Copies of this chain bind each other. A is one copy, B any other.
Amino acid sequence: MYPRKFEDLTEAFRHLPGVGAKTAERYAFAAMSWDKQTQENFIQAVSGMKDMKLCKTCGNIADDDLCVYCKASDRNPKIICVVQNAKDIQAIENTGSFKGLYHVLNGGINTQKGILPEDLNIESLMERINEDTEEVILATDPTVEGETTALYLTRLLDRKTKVSRLAYGISVGSHLDYTDTLTLTKAFEGRTQK
């Protein structure tokens, strides 16, 4: 029998993805053993989650009405890169090669899981696209879900603006004999002239 507050803490940690009873208990014991300052910082950081919002334009996480990209003046609003999740943005930003804006769908179409186009952040994407839009880059995951979503969006956007999809191909630093057949086929199809 643990003290009530300890049980509450364990129960709270169980809400985190992939955390079961044992792990939650381990987290709670660890949190108990932190010094006062670490505990205070943790509580403060966690309390901040209430104040976070989704960007009204693109659906990315934001601490204001607009996210850092939609607010920035040095980004090109004529090119919109569509991603499934907000965390995909970080991966793209790390490349440093994209200077347009983003649009976060918040998932991908998956009929088996009952996730349909109307469950995604697609309506607001359509609203953003106008005659100034030069290109929509579909950067959904290279999975069945991501492909289905990309196909759906391509049909939806086709007549309104130029639509492109990230290139498939061999990974830099990988080996040909370890590359799966489908990826290699796509790499052949998408070969570029030197």
Contacts and interface: CB of A to CB of B under 8 A. Distances in A.
Given A11-B45, A12-B46, A15-B42, A61 B30 contact: no
Identical subunits present:
2
A39 B34 contact: no
Report whether over half of chain A's contact residues are helix, strand or loop; otherwise say mixed.
helix
Interface residues of A, number: 49
Interface string A1-40: 1111110110110011110000001111111101010111
Interface string A26-64: 111111101010111111111111111000000001110
Contact of A90 (B2, B11, B15): B2
A74 to B, nearest CB: 13
A85 interface: yes
A3 B87 contact: no
